Amino acid sequence: MSFLRSKAIVLKAVDYGESDKIVTFYTQEFGKLTAIAKGAKRSKKRFVNKLEFFSLLDIMLVPSQRSSLSRLDNASLLNPFPPLRENYHRYTGAMLVCELVDQWTRENDRESALFQLFCWCLHDLARNPSLSPTIIYFQVKMFDILGLGLQLDHCLACGAMDPAASPYHFSPAHSGIICSPCARGHGLGLLPLSIPSIKIMRMAQSLPAERLNRLKISRRSLIESANILKLYCQFQLQHEIHSWKQFDLSK
Ligand SMILES: [Zn+2]
């Protein structure tokens, strides 16, 4: 019998039948995948307290010959991130990040850089006093990793980047910014985005994750960035990210 082994973060787990669970992971080695954990509802030994949202695990899987659903053979808990479970605000932040990863990735699309970013984000949400900047930076960098990077260097229509042409607007349909003159007659669906907000998101794109904490984001840029990211998700995915409703951006 061949086994697959990887570090993995639990994105979601649902009960299946009388005794099993279906668990979706984002793994370091294989990207997103779904596995059945046999007896996980009943057995208090094998998987107890392990198959919880955003737990970091070392998992062993047995691939199925007949379906895309692997069988979870074993799971060792590497980090349950206790601070994320003891504080409701931190919990909602971690749930939001799990939903974003789940919604923006496909099964078996390996992206180890996203796994590293996901781990950084959970560690940061567990220890930082302010969570909202981490959520913003995570999304900006996730889009870059997934090849959906937001175009924030220049106006998509005229190619210029001129502060005199502000306010700039974000177009979720075109994944980038449009200057004020070009935005006239462009139609609906644009959100204003100030130059400081554009600058901070560009800096987040270019900095490695471990240096993102050095960025100082204003309250206005935080709200603007969150709004365009929500709109971008809604437009591209054709539905809302539900966890945004629980997460309090003002904290
Ligand atoms: Zn323009």
CA 251 – ligand 1 centroid, Å: 35
Say if residue 111 is in the same domain as residue 21.
Answer: no
pLDDT at 41: 75
Tell me the mean pLDDT in the region 218-246.
94
Residue 138 to residue 19: CA distance in whole angstroms: 36
**Is residue 27 domain-shared with residue 114, that is, in the same domain?**
no
pLDDT exceeds 80 at position 222: yes
Same domain (yes/no): 169, 219: yes
Question: How far away, in angstroms, is 157 Cα from ligand 1 center?
Answer: 5
> Ligand 1: distance of its center to the CA of 152 in Å?
12
Shared-domain flag, residues 70 and 100: no
Q: Are residues 203 and 115 both part of a single domain?
A: yes
| 93 and 66 both lie in a single domain | no
Q: Is the dihedral of CA 137, 26, 12, 59 positive or negative?
A: negative
Is a pLDDT exceeding 70 seen at residue 220?
yes
Tell how far the Cα of 180 is from the centroid of ligand 1, in angstroms: 7
> How far, in Å, is the centroid of ligand 1 from the Cα of 230?
23
Residues 28, 152 within the same domain:
no
Q: Which residue, 49, 80, 111, sits at the end of a domain?
A: 80
State whether the Cα torsion 91-94-98-103 is positive or negative: positive
Q: 13 pLDDT exceeds 70? A: yes
Q: Which of 80, 95, 127 is the last residue of a domain?
A: 80
Q: Are 70 and 30 in contact (CB under 8 A)?
A: no
Residues 148 and 208 in one domain: yes
What CATH number does residue 75 fall under?
A: 2.40.50.140
Instruction: State mean pLDDT over 43-47.
Output: 69
CB 179 within 8 A of CB 165: yes
Question: Are 104 and 193 found together in one domain?
Answer: yes
Residue 44: what pLDDT?
61
In the reported structure, the alpha carbon of residue 186 is separated from the centroid of ligand 1 by a whole-number distance in angstroms of 11
How many Å from the N-terminal Cα to the C-terminal Cα in the chain? 50
**Average pLDDT score over residue span 214-230:** 94
Res. 169: pLDDT tops 70: yes
Same domain, 209 and 175: yes
| Neighbour count for residue 105 (Cβ, 10 Å) | 19
pLDDT (average), residues 164-178:
91
CA of 165 to the centre of ligand 1 (A): 8
Query: Do 186 and 171 meet the contact criterion of CB atoms below 8 Å apart?
Result: yes
* Res 68: pLDDT: 78
Asked whether residue 150 carries a pLDDT value surpassing 70, the answer given is: yes
Of residues 42 and 180, more confidently modeled = 180
Q: What angle do CA 18, 22, 24 make, to 5 degrees?
A: 165
Structural domain harbouring 124: 82-251
Same domain membership, residue 122 and residue 40: no
Distance 144 CA to ligand 1 centre (A): 23
pLDDT of residue 18: 87
Is pLDDT at 187 greater than 70 in this prediction?
no
Q: Is it the case that residue 1 has pLDDT exceeding 90?
A: no
Number of domain units in the chain: 2
So what's the pLDDT on residue 84? 97
Whether 2 and 61 share a structural domain: yes
Of 34, 60, 80, the residue that ends a domain is 80
Q: State the distance from the centre of ligand 1 to the C-alpha of 169, rounded, in angstroms.
A: 10
Q: What per-residue confidence (pLDDT) applies to 43?
A: 65
40-44, 101-105, 108-112, 190-194: least confidently modelled range: 40-44
Look up the CATH number of the domain holding residue 224: 1.20.1440.120
